[in-house]
Amino acid sequence: MSGSFDIKGWCPGALRPMLAADGYVVRLRPKDGQLSSRQGLALADLARRYGTGVLTLTSRANIQLRGIEAIDHPALLLALEVEGLLDESVRVESQRNILLSPFWQANDATQPLCVALGNAQGDTGAPLLPSKFGFVLDPGDAPYLRAASGDVRVERAHTQSPTQEPLFWVYPEGATTGWLGHQSLVVKAAMDLAHWFVRHNGFENPRGRMRVLIERALPLPDAFQTPLDLMPPAPQAPLGAVQVDLGQGGFLVGLRFGQMSADLCSYLCGFGPLRMTPWRQIYLPQAKVQPTHPALLTDANDPYSRIDICTGAPACTQALGETLSLAHEVAKILPKGRFAHLSGCAKGCARASACDVTIVAQKGGFLWGRNAQAGNLFGPALSQEYLLEDLQSAFERPDHA
């Protein structure tokens, strides 16, 4: 099997950073899923001054700075507070795990629900949830985040109330029924589900996820018994100009391996606010022209837009191998339309779901498999050279096309 790894059970934040081999990792959750130009410029400056000079976008649409030294942490926090990028406590920071559709508009329900949900999570009676437990707010005209990891989902229904008001679904990940109702009660319904999760010992599984609890077939509360009749998921918006019937334009740009240099971040801030996505892409809603920085991915056919990698060695203490240089080699041979996931260990931080090609570092080499998750690979480890040869011949076989 692809090996063991520690489950830390918590995620880094700004107030509670996590120590890695290259210093502390500081993770930020922009409050409405976006950075203003000013905040983005400030973050770029902080990454240069205190970190490695690189900002990383995570699969939960958070931003990470690495390589922070303990002595610089207080000054970094002060600067983040000035920019409105700091939560009031570790508890609020770790609980405010809300993923927003990047394509929200000023007149839809996303922003008000995000604010109200954040407030509800800060209430004294709010349940204490595992730090990986996440709310997915996707209540626009079409759901974009169905494939993103989450525990409680909020989406707009395609039916309306008799008075023509929009209705919304609130449902637990993995369930076939949910709550259907008005916007004013959405946050209460979402928090009711969170309370239900805690009441039924959702913490029992190591990462504390809703899907595991739902698989135990416990009866949901009465209010969540309406059979789900969801809108079909919106197709993934392609890189480049965004024309998803939003009437607002803008551009979606990809980041190679989810990383951007501080200079690239500063460049993007020249196009207005930066909205984070869980796809290692940034949506620039106010961009009037296509950004042309050479480090950006703007073509969906670019193999780099189809490769996920985790930090790997040497920066991650759990890594059994390096991922970055191998990813450059895989990019040279990855067939068009195929996706690859390279992981420094079986934990699979960069991607929870299965992938066309999954490669996991192992003691003495790598394992790889098709349509596999990082934790589900077996067999003898291959050297990097043999791995690439094996991949190349597999990609050339007709059954892989």
Stretch near ligand SF4 under the rule CB under 6 A, chosen from 29-37, 146-154, 240-248, 305-313: 305-313
The size of the interface with ligand SF4 (CB under 6 A), counted in residues, is 13
How far is 245 from 275, CA to CA, in rounded Å? 18
Of 349, 355, 372, 381, the one binding ligand SF4 (CB under 6 A) is 349
Chain centroid to Cα 36, Å, comes to 19
278 forms part of the interface with ligand SF4 (CB under 6 A): no
Q: Which residues contact 187 (CB under 8 A, 6 or more apart)?
A: 113, 116, 117, 120
How far is 184 from 276, CA to CA, in rounded Å? 26
State in angstroms the smallest separation of the CB of 74 from ligand SF4. 26
Of 319, 330, 340, 382, the one binding ligand SF4 (CB under 6 A) is 319
Asked whether the beta carbons of 319 and 344 are under 8 A apart, the reply is yes
Contact positions with ligand SF4 (CB under 6 A) in 325-344: 343-344
255 forms part of the interface with ligand SF4 (CB under 6 A): no
Alpha helices in 131-217 (DSSP H): 186-199, 210-215
372 forms part of the interface with ligand SF4 (CB under 6 A): no
State in angstroms the smallest separation of the CB of 310 from ligand SF4. 3
> How far is the CA of 269 from the CAs of 85, 196, 272, in angstroms?
16, 41, 5
358 forms part of the interface with ligand SF4 (CB under 6 A): no
Of 59, 97, 311, 373, the one binding ligand SF4 (CB under 6 A) is 311
345 forms part of the interface with ligand SF4 (CB under 6 A): yes
Q: By three-state DSSP, how is residue 301 classified?
A: coil
5 forms part of the interface with ligand SF4 (CB under 6 A): yes
Stretch near ligand SF4 under the rule CB under 6 A, chosen from 102-110, 182-190, 227-235, 316-324: 316-324
Asked whether the beta carbons of 190 and 135 are under 8 A apart, the reply is yes
280 forms part of the interface with ligand SF4 (CB under 6 A): no
Asked whether the beta carbons of 277 and 255 are under 8 A apart, the reply is no
State in angstroms the smallest separation of the CB of 366 from ligand SF4. 12
Choose between 17 and 348: whose C-beta lies nearer to ligand SF4. Answer: 348
How far is 292 from 83, CA to CA, in rounded Å? 28
172 forms part of the interface with ligand SF4 (CB under 6 A): no
Of 310, 330, 355, 367, the one binding ligand SF4 (CB under 6 A) is 310
316 forms part of the interface with ligand SF4 (CB under 6 A): yes
> Which residue shows structure tokens 């003691």?
363
**Burial environment of residue 239 by CB neighbours within 10 A (0 to 12, 13 to 18, 19 or more):** buried
Residues that bind ligand SF4 (CB under 6 A): 5, 310-312, 316, 318-319, 343-345, 347-349
